[in-house]
Amino acid sequence: MKTRFFFFLLLGGLLSAALLLGGCKPKKTMQVRQIPLEDFFKNPEKARFQISPDGKYFSFMGPYEKRMNIFVQEIGKKNAIRLTSEKDRDISVYFWKSPSRIVFLKDTGGDENFKLYGVNIDGSNLKCFTDFPKVRTEILDDLYDFPNEMIIGLNKRNPEAFDPYRLNIITGEMKQLAENPGNIQGWIVDHDGKLRAATAIVDGINTQVLYREKETEKFKPVLTTNFKESLYPMLFTFDNKNVYATSNLGRDKSAVVIFDIANGKEIQTLYENKDFDVSDVVWSHGKKRLIAANYESWKPERYYFDEEAKQLYAKIQKQLGNYTFNITSFTRAEDKFMIRAYSDRSLGGYYVYDNVKDTLQKVADLFTWLKEDELAEMLPVEFKTRDNVMVNGYLTLPVGYTMETARNLPVVVNPHGGPWARDSWGFNPEVQFLANRGYAVLQMNFRGSTGYGRNFWEKSFKQWGLTMQNDITDGTKWLIDKGIADPKRIAIYGGSYGGYATLQGIIREPDLYTAAVDYVGVSNLFTFLKTIPPYWKPMLDMMYEMVGDPKADSIQFIATSPALNADKIKTPLFVAQGKNDPRVNINESDQMVNALKKRGITVEYMIKDNEGHGFHNEENRFDFYRAMEKFLGQHLK
């Protein structure tokens, strides 16, 4: 789990929420069983399986008192042991730290101030390592080769900066390794467990790679670039001399390179795709070599560096057929692997693959109550915008329809959050729910979406509510022009940045959408930039360049802040918000709702007191979806 410099996780991280529409049925010749709402959105019986480092056990997340907790089961036996008993909130992240101990993160009420815990696999020695108020814990490096230690980041000293600590996960003892001067955003550890590199922001808009030969030395800058052109170290080469990195220096698409970190220069390009950014790499801890580079076209893809690994993946793929798969964990000997297989119509299941015996043993199926033949395919589409930019996306049609036969369907346009993220192919419960009810769903990777290169990303700068919004509008009109969408029955729904795009959509195009749902969305660019989490503040100048400067771009902000243009809204609107949201403050939704109420316009508003940036608790998801179904059923008859 080497840490790369993570540029922004601005408005993503949402738990998927469905837009539920009632009142539309498929044609009689295409009737499909109406699947109960809860079947799409209830917690799975088991999920997020991992295999232990010694291969004797597997772990999984399962419900206890309606919250997802950690269980461990010996391979070959039927009974599992529940290690945790959380009743207030699901556990966010967990992983095996050693053959006998598991660590996990959990926040309170969605505040994203995660605390780190450890527990033995028999449930004993449960310990909270970072029980500090209003402090966020980040995993910097799991120190794979050091079973009792890991490196974490804490913003305990300064809310805006994370200092690195070496933590003993048995005793809880912590040792601070360095003091963050306030601008370091990532730390990189070598294969001997030494903290030797970092990535930082300097002058507000430049990124910098820092390096030291030994932990006793001071960090020195070796490369400084404007944030638009950057190099992200992922891990040291296995001789600890250079680093493997993704880089778009002098190129449009991010490539995998070897970077001479002592001298601050690229020395070799290992893989570059002409159409898509490489996102990261996979490597073998035991064999000490790179395995593959990951990138995403309309589906996840890999480029293999290692022929033996390529054959391994091919053997697994042959047994799984058409399912896409990931390796989620593996034994220290790398002879057994936990496999997650899935498709666009199935959450799939988990398998243990034995590389010695070449056997694939199913551990569990997910969401067994959903049947693939009742669910819809996620089709790749593309269209050109009014200014001749090609935009890729996905169209999901109700079962029984094709691009040729789908005509005058009700549609949900679903812009993604981020906005510097992307929609991806795979199983999406809210999309499948809509398709099951007879609705087409359009998702598009509008300009600024990641994975398509630097130029496409930069086209989004200072374009919130402008050309980015045009892409969404043009996609909607493209679907109308093809005859697929009924122009009188189109809804727009989005979460986070997608919520902002929803609000801006019904302001810019008041006659295009019949109904709208804003889920934890930004409504006022001025106030949004004042209420960001403290650890985003070192990146504020970058955000000014990407979103806009409240002073220099004030006229534009006034025009593109939905709460300041509520007089233009006539589309029925539903707003949902978590009270503890640290990314999009509840004031964003409050002021939008109040602006409409002042005009005497009724707007439905749901607030959940124990949620943050998205509704994670099962009962809150159900409430949201039921209210959404009723609201939109009234307007999209």
pLDDT in tens, 414-462: 999 999 999 999 999 999 998 998 889 999 999 999 999 999 999 999 9
| Mean pLDDT, residues 32-52 | 94
% of the chain residues with pLDDT over 90: 89
**Which residue type occupies 464?**
W
- Which of 605, 608, 628 has the alpha carbon at shortest distance from 618? 608
Q: What is the pLDDT of residue 567?
A: 94
Any bridge partners for residue 303, and if so which? 293
| Mean pLDDT, residues 205-222 | 95
Distance CA 171, CA 36 (A): 48
Distance CA 585, CA 550 (A): 17
Q: What pTM was estimated for this model as a whole?
A: 0.92
Q: Is 373 among the residues known to form the active site?
A: no
CA distances from 229 to 7, 49, 428 (A): 12, 37, 33
Catalytic annotation, pick one of 329, 496, 523, 589: 496
Catalytic annotation, pick one of 107, 142, 163, 581: 581
Any bridge partners for residue 225, and if so which? 207
Q: What strands, in cross-sheet order, belong to the sheet with 115-120? A: 93-98, 101-106, 115-120, 127-128
Any bridge partners for residue 198, and if so which? 187, 210
Query: Is the CB of residue 475 less than 8 Å from the CB of residue 463?
Result: no
Length of the chain: 637
Q: Is 16 among the residues known to form the active site?
A: no
Token readout for 192 is 């001997």
Q: Is 590 among the residues known to form the active site?
A: no
Distance CA 539, CA 205 (A): 8
Segment 519-578, tens digit of pLDDT: 999 999 999 999 989 988 889 999 999 999 999 999 999 999 999 999 999 999 999 999
Rounded to 10 degrees, the C-alpha dihedral 536/583/166/221 comes to: -20
Quick one: how far is CA 78 from the chain centroid? 33
Token readout for 90 is 């699901």
Segment 183-208, tens digit of pLDDT: 999 999 999 999 999 999 998 899 99
Catalytic annotation, pick one of 416, 613, 616, 635: 613
Q: What is the pLDDT of residue 481?
A: 97
HEC readout, 22-83: CCCCCCHHHCCCCCCHHHHHCCCCCEEEEECCCCCEEEEEEEECCEEEEEEEECCCCCEEEC
Band of pLDDT at residue 628, cut at 50, 70 and 90: confident
Q: Is the peptide bond before 419 cis (omega within 30 degrees of 0)?
A: yes
Burial of 97 (0-12, 13-18, 19+ CB in 10 A): buried
Dihedral pair phi/psi, residue 28, rounded to 5°: -55, -30
Dihedral pair phi/psi, residue 107, rounded to 5°: -110, -175
User: Which domains occur in the chain, in start order?
Assistant: 45-182 (2.120.10.30), 379-635 (3.40.50.1820)
- Which of 492, 510, 634 has the alpha carbon at shortest distance from 571? 510
* Burial letters 136-156, b for 16+ CB under 10 A, else e: bbbbbbbbeebbebbbbbbbb
Token readout for 118 is 């450890």
Q: What is the pLDDT of residue 12?
A: 53
SS3 state at 543: helix
Distance CA 22, CA 239 (A): 60
- For CA atoms 585, 615, 626, 436, give the dihedral sign: positive
Any bridge partners for residue 361, and if so which? 352
